[in-house]
Amino acid sequence: MKPELRREQILRAATSVFAAKGYHRASVSDIIAAAGVARGTFYLYFEGKREIFAELVDVLTVRLINCMKRVDLGPAAPPWPEQLRMNVLHIATILAEERELTQMLYNHALGLDEDFDRKIREFYQNLTNRVEGAFRLGQEMGLLRPELHTRLATYHVIGSVKEVIYHLAKGGDLDLTVEAMVNELLSYYNLGLLKSQPKPQTAKPPRKK
């Protein structure tokens, strides 16, 4: 069999095993059983359990990082809020597509290895910095409340998206399309949850029109 296919096959098997049992409870035996290959074959394509897990996480991470566009202030660029919305939408779309990888990440990404933990933290650091940067920009542009504690707001938004995505990936009780979900979520960020008292013109009433 073609090497790349074999790799792919093992990778797929590993994904579902990790998603189902979590990193620690998953064993190499589980993975090779799921992939239908011999023990030795596994080590022919991957350095070990940690490494195949890391690769899966990396693949997802890279896809996420690539889809996040830096906010562009050029004259031809779409408006700032729309750029933010697109970013959230892209992230959510990817995570919703890769349900197994996402579950894997959420449930068991931490605690396997100091190196590994660091990598995860770096990803979040990166994410946090980008979002906070966008928020500072928004403040400067007069779009966001100036008294906002941008770091806190950043964690607020990241946590909110993480949790919602998690439940979406887990499947079950959220009967929404990804797009609808993102729109609704953004309305929370924009308007809050309170009943809209006669609210001004620009506030982006997400979908209703």
Partner DNA sequence: CATGAATGAGTGTTCATTCAT
Partner DNA sequence: AATGAATGAACACTCATTCAT
Task: Name the minimum Å distance from CB 103 to a second copy.
Answer: 10
14 is a site residue for a second copy (CB under 8 A): no
Q: Which does 1 bind (CB under 5 to 8 A by kind): DNA, a second copy, none?
A: DNA
State how far the alpha carbon of 18 is from the alpha carbons of 2, 101, 148, in Å. 24, 8, 39
63-92: which residues touch a second copy (CB under 8 A)?
Answer: 79, 81-82, 85
Residue 28 interacting partner from DNA, a second copy, none (CB closer than 5 to 8 Å by kind): DNA
Residue 8 or 159 with smaller CB distance to a second copy: 159
| CB contact at 8 A, 11 and 55 | yes
Q: With left for phi above 0 and alpha for psi between -120 and 50, is residue 111 left, alpha or beta?
A: left
Q: Which residues in the 27-56 window bind DNA by CB under 7 A? A: 27-29, 37-41, 43-45, 47-50
Q: How far apart are CA 13 and CA 11, in angstroms?
A: 5
Site stretch for a second copy (CB under 8 A), options 2-10, 48-56, 62-70, 136-144:
136-144
By the rule CB under 8 A, 108 interacts with a second copy:
yes
Interface residue with a second copy, options 68, 96, 137, 188 (CB under 8 A): 188
Which CB sits closer to DNA, 43 or 80?
A: 43
- Residue 36 neighbours by CB under 8 Å, 6+ apart: 9, 13
Report DSSP letters for 29-61, one per residue. Answer: HHHHHHHT--HHHHHHH-S-HHHHHHHHHHHHH
133 binds, among a second copy, DNA, none (CB under 5 to 8 A by kind): none
> Residue 113 interacts with DNA (CB under 7 A)?
no
Six token digits for residue 123: 């990803």
Q: Among 25, 39, 69, 118, which residue sits at the site for a second copy (rule: CB under 8 A)?
A: 25
Query: Candidates 3-11, 51-59, 91-99, 150-158 — which segment interacts with a second copy by CB under 8 A?
Result: 150-158
CB 25 within 8 A of CB 4: no
Look up residue 96 and give its two tokens: 């919703």
Query: What type of residue is 21?
Result: K
How many CB atoms neighbour CB 178 within 10 A?
20
State the residues that interact with a second copy by CB under 8 A: 21-25, 79, 81-82, 85, 107-108, 110-113, 135, 142-149, 151-153, 155-164, 166-167, 173-174, 176, 181, 183-204, 206-208
